Amino acid sequence: MNKPRHPLDKPSRSARSVSAGSALGPGYSAANSNTRIHGPRPFTLPSNSAKPPAAPATVNLGLNSDRLRLQMVQRLREQGITDERVLSAMQAVPRHVFVDQGLASRAYEDAALPIGYGQTISQPWVVAHMLAVMSDGRTPERVLEIGAGCGYQAAVLAQFVPEVYAIERVRGLYEQARLNLAQGRARGRVRLTFGDGMQGLEHRAPFDGIVVAAAGVKIPEVLLHQLAVGARLIAPEGAAHQRLILIERTGPSSWHRLELEDVRFVPLRPGTQT
Ligand code: SAH
């Protein structure tokens, strides 16, 4: 196929292999996947509370979760998240519903957590930051998420975006996300697709925002063409060294690219997994 030149072509980063490691997959752990590595405003918990209090196993987290979410949102504010739409969306969505029951008591820590199939639910700060940057100064009506995972980020998006499309390539996670979205106050608000998000969703384009939750060595070019003019895409990019990249479509054939924080995401993979 005669591919047009990538609109943001630049010398590609060298892709070094990552070392084998955890149950999450080579080089990834619950502590380092879909998380920020360093930030301009490093956040430290007060020394006498290294971790948010974990709910006793016998307590129904559903009853406690409003308070735990309030603490999570307070932490996000302290970490520099200011977009009230995003903060109230994070307050509204019960993150514990999107993780395995055994991890529910940790759902409001500022950490990525395993969701099976070697994937993770993104760190709350990462979710909040990506959504805030994507929608900054805009009122997106139609947004695409690539890498729905367990559905959490899509549910958060659906609190303030009327039309949310989300794609997941792992069949088991796609099915899990459907169940979670039904329980997580996002029933019917997220249109979930099982497929390869590297192709985007041509028949629903253009989008007022695109959020990619897995890192490709390079951001797929096709996605840039599915952005509306003026809209923004946010995605991690890179292999061993990854960065969050913000791309704004500034015209029919012009895009502006900005490199943000160092992050560690699970990989963006082609095709589907059944
Ligand atoms: N959005 C999630 C994060 C999930 S982790 C959250 O709310 O926390 C990233 C997800 O991207 C994984 O589930 C992985 O299977 C998926 N993924 C990777 N490559 C993909 C592709 N090409 N298309 C769709 N999903 C993809």
Question: Is pLDDT larger for residue 111 or for residue 38?
Answer: 111
Of the candidates 255, 270, 150, the residue with the CA atom closest to the CA atom of residue 198: 270
Give residue 121 CA to ligand 1 midpoint distance, Å.
9
Mean pLDDT of 133-140: 98
Mean pLDDT of the chain: 85
pLDDT digits (tens, 9 = 90+) for 139-181: 999 999 999 999 999 999 999 999 999 999 999 999 999 999 9
The helix-helix angle for 61-78 and 124-135 (nearest 10°) equals 60
Calpha distance 167→187 (Å, rounded): 16
Range 106-116 average pLDDT: 94
Can you give the pTM of this predicted structure?
A: 0.85
- Asked whether residue 130 carries a pLDDT value surpassing 70, the answer given is yes
**Mutational pocket test of ligand 1: of 98, 108, 119, 144, the residue with most ligand atoms within 8 Å of the beta carbon:** 119
In the chain, the percentage of residues whose pLDDT exceeds 70 is 78
Q: Calculate Rg over the CA atoms of the chain.
A: 18
The residue nearest atom 17 of ligand 1, judged by CA position, is: 147
pLDDT (average), residues 91-111 = 93
Catalytic residue selected from 33, 105, 122, 135:
122
Residue 32 scores a pLDDT above 80: no
Q: Which of 168, 174, 199, 222 to mutate to test the pocket of ligand 1 (most atoms within 8 A of CB)?
A: 168
CA 126 – CA 112 distance, rounded (Å): 9
Do residues 65 and 108 make contact, with C-beta atoms less than 8 angstroms apart? yes
